[in-house]
Amino acid sequence: DCVMTQTPLSSPVTLGQPASISCRSSQNLVHSNGNTYLSWLQQRPGQPPRLLIYKVSERFSGVSDRFSGSGAGTDFTLEISRVEAEDVGVYYCMQATQFPRTFGQGTRVEIK
């Protein structure tokens, strides 16, 4: 199975400042079709997960442009350009290149 490892596990951030979360996969996530199916999800308190980024850097419909994804192969990053109060929650990376689908442990973003 492809293990997804996120760092840090907790990220206290000042409002208006940037935040960055890293995700490393134990296997290369490039699919045989050439796409890389690495996604980022946000889970606000008491809510189900919500898709933010898919295929490494594609922002999903309705997602703020403060969120951006980058990376390739086995190393990926989610960046929040200016953290707002509504960004508080847990962020997960996940891969859909292969079965079983796997998720990172989650990174908790909180306001300092």
Partner 1 sequence: EVQLLESGGGLVQPGGSLRLSCAASGFTFSRYAMTWVRQTPEKGLEWVSTISAHSDGFHYADSVRGRFTISRDNSRNTLYLQMSGLRAEDTAIYYCANDVGDVFFQYWGQGTLVTVSS
Decide: 2 and 27 in contact? Cβ < 8 Å: yes
Cα 103 from Cα 112, distance rounded (Å): 26
Cα–chain-centroid distance for residue 103?
Answer: 10
Q: How many residues bind partner 1 (CB under 8 A)?
A: 21
* Residue (6 or 74) nearer to partner 1, CB: 6
**Binding characters for partner 1, 36-75, by CB under 8 A (x = yes):** -x-x-x------xxxx--xx----x---------------
Give least dist CB 85 to partner 1, A.
22
Give least dist CB 73 to partner 1, A.
18
> E strands within 28-106?
38-43, 50-54, 58-59, 67-72, 75-80, 89-95, 102-103
Give least dist CB 111 to partner 1, A.
22
